[in-house]
A and B are shown apart, each in its own frame.
Chain A
Amino acid sequence: MGMTYVQKLLARACGTAVVETGDVLELPVNLAMSHENAALVINQFNEIFRDTGREARVWDPDKIAIIFDHRVPAESSKTATNQKKIRDFVAAQGIPRFHDVRGDVGGICHQILPENGYVRPGHVLVGTDSHTTTHGALGAFAFGIGATEMAAVWALGSILNVEVPGTIKVVVNGNFPDGVYAKDLILHLVGLLTAEGANFKMIEFHGDTIRSLPTSGRLVLCNMSVEAGATGGVVPPDWETRRYLRDEAGVVDELDLFAPDADAVYDRVVEIDATRLEPQIACPHTVDNVKPIGEVKGRKIDQIVVGSCTNGRLDDIEIVARTLKGKQVAEGTRMLVFPASWRIYSDALNAGYLSDLIAAGAVVCNPGCGPCLGIHQGALGDNETALATTNRNFKGRMGNPGAEVFLCSPVVAATSALTGVISDPREVN
């Protein structure tokens, strides 16, 4: 019987011929990523070594990546002290893939990993962040874990007790109509599957829409696969994966590209006709509360947020800047833009996008996660409403349980910034 992409990847990783859904495996890890919560990982890591008579050393410093992104620059002495503790640990253990608070190498972990060529097709990649699913866009089996689990990875070099997930095959065909992007596709899919519809499963993306989608769009799809509960999302790697890693991430080594078997067995197959999609909005307070834009347009917005590990890439900033160029953000609405990395920030600066945004009245923030989860800048006031290109709209998400968050694509965010209400880009321009 044939294997899905991730079954095949896991069989290779374990050196076995076959794995079956539900098998529980211990897997060697190719890359272990953490951000500021490495402070807790360090604590748990030292606990594992306590009373063992061993020196607490990580299994392989070259396979660990640590990126400061959640609260940068530190918003409090507590965060600054956590960051200092991590910095000291990185130096003591000799971890080279460390991205500190810096304008040259800094950014959000889920952009830093791809753009620096840390991810390869076939990798087993774990991260102490639920959006680690992002890296399935490059053909990795990538998923989020907790801090104690990561401490065990740092000690042992493997991830213990991973269930071989069943897989939902999503086949998308046709061209996106005007005003529709990868974000609309994944919002539509999360609405279709529901917030728990893919729990303990992979989402494997296929179809000509996916094949012609650049990596920036594939990253969006895999990033938000976790919002349907999925263990991860994955795009079987192809020429575009090769192009991205070579041309944009500077990867020179030979890639091992493989595909799922033609007779692979899937738990479910979902077919989507991209030509029929409309701009989508996820309404408060769950990501699966998704509606076509027509049902919510006209809704007053206090704060627009463009950025995050979901939609803070150069093509996102570009479309927002083009929409706003020569125009103004509506009175009574504020707009925050935070690029996903300093490389993107710099490219957007050189292309003139940032000056267009600033001239239009947007506030361009430094790359980071802060506003998305309400922990650093951009908090909402009581009864305020935000429209964001981020990934979650849970109650309290942007720092205030008395506020509401709607999720959308960058072009919808930009169009709505001009009007101050949720607006359909197909009608406004």
Chain B
Amino acid sequence: MAKGKVVLKLDNDISTDIIYPGRFMATVLPTETPQFAFADNTEFNKALIEKQFPAGSFIVAGDNFGCGSSREQAASCIKGYGLIVVARNFARIFLQNSINVGLQMIICPDIEAGEGDELEIRDKQVCNLTSGKSFAIEPLPKARQAIIDEGGLIPYARRLLLERGA
């Protein structure tokens, strides 16, 4: 299972304006959005663009990650770098967008981790290898997990379209 370092530790109520500032919203394609991920955090944005973090690295956040706008760019820009988001909980639209576009996100209500800590996803737990503590992952409802298991909403909807006929 996934193992990697925490490259960014964030607080509660991280809004989509922080993840993907509104002024870049005219850029929509998932292939182009990653350049503006966390654009106002210039140091982190630069490190992302310079590919300093391997895929499978973690962003750890508190409650209500992704609150605010429905802009899907906020999910696709993080996915572009292969990062995994672990948060205590997520805002509804961001959660759904992540599932739909295939951004790996983990709901972990008790997560404790700091920047530089090494995390491993094991079974139904997030293990902080640095602190030696483990934290339970909250599973998604079955219907949502089904979309993830099928690789996102596009293949899922494509299958339904074909199954249902004209």
Question: Chain A: residues with CB nearer than 8 A to chain B?
Answer: 22, 24, 36-37, 39-40, 43-44, 47-50, 52, 54, 70-71, 76, 78-79, 82, 127-130, 132, 144-149, 151-152, 155-156, 160-161, 163, 195-196, 199-200, 229, 231, 286, 373-375, 392, 394-397, 399, 401
Beta-carbon contact of B157 and A156 below 8 Å: yes
Scan residues 74-95 of chain B and give those whose CB is less than 8 A from a CB of chain A.
Answer: 75, 89, 91-93
Residue of A nearest to B33 (CB): A40
26 contacts between A and B (CB under 8 A): A24-B143, A37-B72, A40-B29, A40-B72, A52-B161, A130-B69, A144-B93, A145-B70, A146-B71, A146-B96, A146-B100, A148-B72, A149-B153, A152-B156, A156-B161, A160-B160, A195-B13, A195-B67, A196-B13, A196-B63, A199-B64, A199-B91, A375-B25, A392-B17, A397-B22, A399-B22
B149 at the interface (CB under 8 A from A): no
B18 at the interface (CB under 8 A from A): yes
Closest CB-CB distance, A224 to chain B, in whole Å? 12
| A24-B141 contact in complex given A48-B161, A156-B161, A401-B40, C-beta closer than 8 Å | yes
Q: Which of B29, B144, B152, B161 has the most CB of A within 10 A?
A: B161
Scan residues 143-158 of chain B and give those whose CB is less than 8 A from a CB of chain A.
Answer: 143-144, 147, 152-154, 156-158
Contact of A196 among B18, B28, B89, B141 (CB under 8 A): B89
How far apart sit A387 and B75, CA to CA, in the bound complex (Å)?
Answer: 30
Beta-carbon contact of B23 and A374 below 8 Å: yes
| A199-B101 contact in complex given A147-B72, A156-B161, C-beta closer than 8 Å | no
Closest CB-CB distance, B48 to chain A, in whole Å? 17
Q: Which of B12, B28, B147 has the most CB of A within 10 A?
A: B28
Closest CB-CB distance, B85 to chain A, in whole Å? 15
| A48-B154 contact in complex given A149-B97, A229-B67, C-beta closer than 8 Å | yes
How far apart sit A195 and B17, CA to CA, in the bound complex (Å)?
Answer: 15
Q: Which of B40, B70, B93, B101 has the most CB of A within 10 A?
A: B70
How far apart sit A388 and B164, CA to CA, in the bound complex (Å)?
Answer: 48
Known: A156-B160, A374-B22. 5 other contacts (CB 8 A): A36-B25, A149-B97, A161-B147, A195-B13, A394-B18
Beta-carbon contact of B92 and A43 below 8 Å: no
B130 at the interface (CB under 8 A from A): no
- Which residues does chain B contribute within 8 Å of A78, judged by CB atoms? 26-27
Closest CB-CB distance, B26 to chain A, in whole Å? 5
- Which residues does chain A contribute within 8 Å of B1, judged by CB atoms? none
- Which residues does chain A contribute within 8 Å of B12, judged by CB atoms? 196
Beta-carbon contact of A54 and B101 below 8 Å: no
Beta-carbon contact of A163 and B26 below 8 Å: no
Beta-carbon contact of B70 and A161 below 8 Å: no
Beta-carbon contact of B141 and A37 below 8 Å: no
Q: How large is the interface on B (under 10, 10 to 19, 20 to 34, 35 or more residues)?
A: 35 or more
B68 at the interface (CB under 8 A from A): yes
B15 at the interface (CB under 8 A from A): yes
Closest CB-CB distance, B5 to chain A, in whole Å? 26
- Which residues does chain A contribute within 8 Å of B64, judged by CB atoms? 195-196, 199, 229
Contact of B97 among A39, A148, A401 (CB under 8 A): A148
How far apart sit A269 and B143, CA to CA, in the bound complex (Å)?
Answer: 29
- Which residues does chain B contribute within 8 Å of A396, judged by CB atoms? 17-18, 21-22, 40
Q: Which of A22, A44, A54 has the most CB of B within 10 A?
A: A44
Contact of A148 among B29, B91, B101 (CB under 8 A): B101
Beta-carbon contact of A71 and B26 below 8 Å: yes
| A149-B25 contact in complex given A196-B64, A196-B89, A229-B64, C-beta closer than 8 Å | no
| A373-B22 contact in complex given A40-B28, A146-B97, C-beta closer than 8 Å | yes
Contact of B157 among A43, A48, A196 (CB under 8 A): A48
Contact with A along B35-77 (1 / 0, CB 8 A): 0000010000000000000000000000110011111100100
Beta-carbon contact of B40 and A152 below 8 Å: no
Closest CB-CB distance, A255 to chain B, in whole Å? 28
Closest CB-CB distance, B137 to chain A, in whole Å? 18
